[in-house]
């Protein structure tokens, strides 16, 4: 079936392992079972009516195990097109349709998704995206730099403010809350925002630089809009959100809400419950790539391939591609030209120190947020120096200079970072 000629199908691709299944039969079973329920038994007149609801097998690619490989490694990539009139235009409806019951049916992983043009048109996507975030910061000529609080639980406002100030003085563009900081008596959201935004203003006098503070949006689902309003009224200029703990639709509704006119940063908390198994779950490029962008995340954090919490490099590159691609056909098979969604900023995270900046820029290009925690706070000369070391590393890379040479050229903070953590190019 040629779905490219239709604009009315969302297409799911599965990798399905089975030692002896007839994968073509399995594919046909999915296409019927998850749409009209039964097909061959239907009278001819009924078939004519039901045809527009019937799922279609687009492609079945069987990979027989190579010589010496175990039979359990036999798999097929199965692509099924689901008529978009079968479900409402929200992500829960799509996911329940394409991977609700099916997720429980043996060794099967959802490895790609694309959307009908009509489904896609219901999603405005990132309100700010890369361009909008850059506009807010007034920075268009270099990768951005973000830092993370070192520790937050049990700290009071003055302590948090001081941590914030030191990070801001280092010249970072964004600071994010820790994702495990919830409403608490020591640092409730509106007072935390006030204290940190004051520190941001104080730092701006020294650095001349704007800064986005992504405060953690938490609490009861049906109170999220109100909680976001509270944060924004207190001065928050960005939000951090644990998308997978609330579902993609909560993000989609937050990002399109008229009162929430600040960038939203998606945290990958719980993503490891979905993507790492080759046999089950949802591929990282779908989970942290396409669906995050579709739901309107302006920035998306994901485990970098460099640190202790790792993700294989090819999965990182697939997420990057999903967040950045401007090829419309990546999101809607039948579309062509420019993708209708703004780009989301990729934020590879964990294990980042200044000596990794050349590699990050090589892997991700300029449209990336360099994000560090320990690499800022653990700097031998303190957190502000840590930020400066990263900014120097970024400047050195953009100037095309070898990092070690650039450090020796009077960039003491970068030099100290290299002495502490080395360089990986």
> Quick one: which of 19, 22, 49, 425 contacts a second copy (CB under 8 A)?
49
Residue by residue, DSSP assigns 167-225 as HHHTT-SEEE--TT--S-SSS-HHHHHHHHHHHHHHHHHHH----EEEEEE-S-GGGHH
29 vs 402 by CB, closer to a second copy: 29
* 228 touches a second copy (CB under 8 A): no
CB 116, CB 332: distance < 8 Å: yes
* 316 touches a second copy (CB under 8 A): no
> Quick one: which of 71, 201, 206, 273 contacts a second copy (CB under 8 A)?
273
- Least Å distance, CB 403 to a second copy, is 28
26 vs 320 by CB, closer to a second copy: 26
> Quick one: which of 1, 21, 62, 93 contacts a second copy (CB under 8 A)?
93
CB 167, CB 376: distance < 8 Å: yes
| Rounded distance between C-alpha atoms, residue 187 and residue 192, angstroms | 5
8 vs 50 by CB, closer to a second copy: 50
- Least Å distance, CB 278 to a second copy, is 9
Composition of the chain by helix, strand, coil, percent to 5: 45, 15, 40
| Rounded distance between C-alpha atoms, residue 193 and residue 240, angstroms | 12
* 108 touches a second copy (CB under 8 A): yes
| Rounded distance between C-alpha atoms, residue 388 and residue 33, angstroms | 57
97 vs 415 by CB, closer to a second copy: 97
* 382 touches a second copy (CB under 8 A): no
Q: Which stretch binds a second copy (CB under 8 A): 111-119, 139-147, 305-313, 387-395?
A: 305-313
- The strand order across the sheet containing 345-349 reads 345-349, 299-303, 264-266, 238-241, 212-217, 174-176, 144-148, 369-372
Count of chain residues binding a second copy (CB under 8 A): 72
* 20 touches a second copy (CB under 8 A): no
* 48 touches a second copy (CB under 8 A): no
> Quick one: which of 269, 317, 398, 412 contacts a second copy (CB under 8 A)?
269
* 340 touches a second copy (CB under 8 A): no
CB 267, CB 241: distance < 8 Å: yes
- Least Å distance, CB 356 to a second copy, is 18
> Quick one: which of 30, 80, 250, 347 contacts a second copy (CB under 8 A)?
250
Residue numbers 153-192 binding a second copy by CB under 8 A: 153-154, 179-180, 182-184
The closest of 382, 381, 411, 383 to 396, measured between CA atoms, is: 411
Q: Is 270 left (phi over 0), alpha (psi -120 to 50) or beta?
A: left
- Supply 352's token pair: 């980042």
* 13 touches a second copy (CB under 8 A): no
| Rounded distance between C-alpha atoms, residue 384 and residue 272, angstroms | 32
151 vs 336 by CB, closer to a second copy: 151
Q: Is 13 left (phi over 0), alpha (psi -120 to 50) or beta?
A: beta
> Quick one: which of 75, 123, 274, 421 contacts a second copy (CB under 8 A)?
274
- Least Å distance, CB 18 to a second copy, is 13
Write the interaction track for a second copy spanning residues 51-90; mark x where CB under 8 A is met and - where it is not: -xx-------------------------------xxxx-x
> Quick one: which of 19, 22, 100, 424 contacts a second copy (CB under 8 A)?
100
* 308 touches a second copy (CB under 8 A): yes
DSSP state of 376: H
Q: Please identify which residue in the block is written with the tokens 């890379």.
A: 397
> Quick one: which of 139, 246, 398, 401 contacts a second copy (CB under 8 A)?
246
63 vs 150 by CB, closer to a second copy: 150
Q: Which helix (H) or strand (E) holds 14?
A: strand 9-17
* 292 touches a second copy (CB under 8 A): no
- Least Å distance, CB 328 to a second copy, is 26
Q: Which stretch binds a second copy (CB under 8 A): 34-42, 70-78, 231-239, 388-396?
A: 34-42
Residue in 52, 101, 362, 424 annotated catalytic: 101
210 is catalytic: no
Residue by residue, DSSP assigns 56-102 as EEEEEEEEPPPTTS-GGG-EEEEEEEEEGGGS-SSHHHHHHHHHTSG
Q: Which stretch binds a second copy (CB under 8 A): 95-103, 164-172, 193-201, 390-398?
A: 95-103
- Supply 332's token pair: 């809607």
Q: Please identify which residue in the block is written with the tokens 């003491």.
A: 412
**What are the residue numbers of the active site?**
101
């Amino acid at each position: 079936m040629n779905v490219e000629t239709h604009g009315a199908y969302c297409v799911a691709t599965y990798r399905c392992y089975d030692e002896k299944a007839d994968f073509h039969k399995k594919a046909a079973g999915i296409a019927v079972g998850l749409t009209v329920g039964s097909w061959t038994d239907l009278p001819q007149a009924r078939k004519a009516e039901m045809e527009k609801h019937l799922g279609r097998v687009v492609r079945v690619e069987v990979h027989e195990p190579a010589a010496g490989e175990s039979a359990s490694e036999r798999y097929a990539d199965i692509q099924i097109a689901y008529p978009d009139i079968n479900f409402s235009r929200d992500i829960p409806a799509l996911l329940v349709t394409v991977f609700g019951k099916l997720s429980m049916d043996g060794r099967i992983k959802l490895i790609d998704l694309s959307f009908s043009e009509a489904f896609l048109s219901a999603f405005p996507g990132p309100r700010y995206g890369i361009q909008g975030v850059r506009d807010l910061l007034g920075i268009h000529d270099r990768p951005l730099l973000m830092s993370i609080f070192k520790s937050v639980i049990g700290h009071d406002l003055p302590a948090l403010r001081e941590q914030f100030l030191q990070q801001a003085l280092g010249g970072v563009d964004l600071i994010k809350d820790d994702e495990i900081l919830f409403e608490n008596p020591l640092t409730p959201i509106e007072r935390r925002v006030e204290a940190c935004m004051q520190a941001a203003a104080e730092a701006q006098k020294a650095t001349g630089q704007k800064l986005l503070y992504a405060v953690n949006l938490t609490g009861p689902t049906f109170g999220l809009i109100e909680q976001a309003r509270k944060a924004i009224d207190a001065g928050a200029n960005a939000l951090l959100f644990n998308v997978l703990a609330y579902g993609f639709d909560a993000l989609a509704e937050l990002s399109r809400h008229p009162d929430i006119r600040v960038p939203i940063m998606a945290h990958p908390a719980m993503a490891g419950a979905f993507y790492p198994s080759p046999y089950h779950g949802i591929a990282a490029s779908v989970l942290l790539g396409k669906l995050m962008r579709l739901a309107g995340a302006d920035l998306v954090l994901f485990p970098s391939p460099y640190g202790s919490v790792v993700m294989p490099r090819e999965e990182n590159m697939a997420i990057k591609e999903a967040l950045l691609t401007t090829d419309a056909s990546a999101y809607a098979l039948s579309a062509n030209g420019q993708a209708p969604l703004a780009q989301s900023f990729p934020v590879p995270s964990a294990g980042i120190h200044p000596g990794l900046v050349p590699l990050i820029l090589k892997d991700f290009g300029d449209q990336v947020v360099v994000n560090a925690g320990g690499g800022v706070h653990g700097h031998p000369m303190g957190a502000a120096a840590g930020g400066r070391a990263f900014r120097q590393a970024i400047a050195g890379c953009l100037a095309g200079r070898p990092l070690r040479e650039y450090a020796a050229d009077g960039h003491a903070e970068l030099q100290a970072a290299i002495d502490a953590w080395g360089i990986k190019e």
